[in-house]
Structure 1
Amino acid sequence: MSVLSRLREDVRAAREHDPAARSALEVVLAYPGVHAVWAYRVAHRWWRAPGLRLPARLLSQFARFLTGIEIHPGARIGRRLFIDHGMGVVIGETAVVGDDCMLYHGVTLGGRSSRREKRHPTLGARVTVGANATILGPVTIGAGSSVGAGAVVVKDAPAGSILVGIPARDIAPGHAASARESLTDPAFYLDPAIYI
């Protein structure tokens, strides 16, 4: 796939995920999540080249300065990632993000170990992670899952999970459609039972 095709694909993904996106030009010029992903793609290519790890880290830090989004160049990110708003997003070095994922502001894909090992999460394809959610350690979130705003995930979750609370738990195994609808209702987050 050519670079131009990949750029178009990222712009299309932003327009599909964000109803506020009025034009491709607006996405190209004013979407920091898209800019952060583009900078990551360059930094990741450098990260894999002998002798270019320092420039890769410097580019990722410059992108962080400009966008408020920190993506380590060692992370592996699939196609069509969309980061909505984005401020405060952190994606660690050994994180893996599948195709067609969406992250909201304040999301952390962080580690729990200081050893040189797989220490960050793996997100399957089509995973949505809500605002200020934290996923810690080498856990795997299955394809098509949703992580609610403010959740703290520290355990693996199967495909189609709806994860909420601290620590996060799957709120509706086998009833994903109705549970997914409740994630968009602000009153849902006022129920103290989901945090127990």
Structure 2
Amino acid sequence: MFTSISQDLQAVFERDPAATSRWEVFLTYSGFHALLMHRVSHRLWRRKIPFFPRFLSQVTRWATGIEIHPGATIGRGFFIDHGMGVVIGETTEIGDFVTLFQGVTLGGTGKERGKRHPTLGNHVVVGAGAKVLGGIVIGDNVKVGANAVVLRSVPPNSTVVGNPGRVVKYDGERVPEATMDHTNIPDPIAERFEAMERELIDLRKRVDNGRD
């Protein structure tokens, strides 16, 4: 846990040019305070200690304006910038070196049980006011634009904007507007199967013509 806290502290200096000293971060950064308390409450939650993890989470919410359920799993080097209004649900899973800005919600879409909150990969950045909802997967190195509403899984190395969220950049290339919905991003495996199917159809026609 202490290693994670040290990496969280280092993440502040790497991603916030306004940070000037460790004491400043410890005393004035609400995002760091909320994350520090979550590291403790999550540890207690995993040990199945009743009541206190939720109570600690609620106290942290009152103090910082950031709500992180103690059941949420958060990786190394996590950074919440500004922080007010951030909500992270119980079954959320967050990878390493992820950044969230103020007003972000990582939430569910209904009252279902089980895995109902998003999974974020490594090096994901979620802009201010964005909503990522449901048991979807956000791939590594994804950037979610401010105020985007993301309801479907997003492939790695993408940029998502808008409501509903749509991919506008994929693997460094802009996605044409005609196919801007991330559900229409080309699937190389599906394309290979389609090519094989066309070859089989062509081969069948040749065989039939040979019989004639």
- What secondary structure sits across from 2:169 in the alignment? coil
Q: TM-score of the superposition, structure 2-length normalised?
A: 0.80
- Cα distance in 1 for partners of 2:159, 2:125 equals 10
Q: Matches of residues 25-40 of structure 1 in structure 2 within 5 Å? A: 25-40=23-38
Q: Which residue of the partner structure matches residue 46 of structure 1?
A: 44
Distance in 1 between residues matched to 2:132 and 2:4, nearest whole Å: 27
Change (3 A) 1:84 1:157: same
Whole-angstrom CA distance in 1 between matches of 2:4 and 2:99 = 17
Partner Cα distance (2:147, 2:56) in 1: 29
Q: Is the 8 A contact 1:103 1:128 kept in 2?
A: yes
**Structure 1 stretches of 4+ moved >6 Å:** none
Aligned length: 176
Q: Deviations over 1:102-133 (max 9, x none)?
A: 00000000001212110000000000000000
TM-score (structure 1 length as normaliser): 0.86
Q: What is the CA distance between 1:53 and its match in structure 2? A: 3.0
CA RMSD of superposed structures (Å)? 1.6
Name the SS of the counterpart of 1:9 in structure 2: helix
Asked whether the 8 Å contact 2:85–2:102 carries over to 1, the reply is yes
1: CA distance between counterparts of 2:50 and 2:83? 24
Alpha-carbon distance in 1 for matches of 2:146, 2:65: 19
3-state SS of the aligned residue for 1:93?
coil
Contact 1:12 1:24 in 2 (8 A): no
Shift, 1:6, TM fit: 3.1
Q: Max radius of gyration: which structure?
A: 2
Does structure 1 retain, via aligned residues, the 8 Å contact 2:157–2:172?
A: no
**Identity %, equivalent residues:** 51
Are 2:8 and 2:32, in contact at CA under 8 Å, matched by a contact in 1? Answer: yes
Where 1:172 maps in the other structure, the secondary structure is strand
Residue 106 (structure 2) pairs with residue 131 (structure 1): no
Runs of 5+ consecutive residues of structure 1 not aligned to the other structure: 180-193
Task: Report the equivalent of 1:186.
Answer: none
Structure 2: gaps spanning 5 or more residues: 181-212
Partner of 1:185: none
Q: Is contact 2:75–2:94 with CA below 8 Å preserved after alignment?
A: yes
Instruction: Decide which moves more: 87-96 or 110-119.
Output: 110-119
SS in 2 for 1:112: coil
Task: Determine the C-alpha separation between the residues in 2 that align with 1:109 and 1:7.
Answer: 22
Cα drift, residue 31 of structure 1? 0.5
Residues in 2 aligned to 1:157 and 1:174: alpha-carbon distance in whole angstroms? 12
Deviation at 1:25, TM superposition (A): 1.4
| 1:104 lines up with 2:101 in the alignment | yes
CA distance in 2, matches of 1:19, 1:96: 27
- SS class of match (2:106): strand
How far apart are the structure 2 equivalents of 1:41 and 1:86?
16
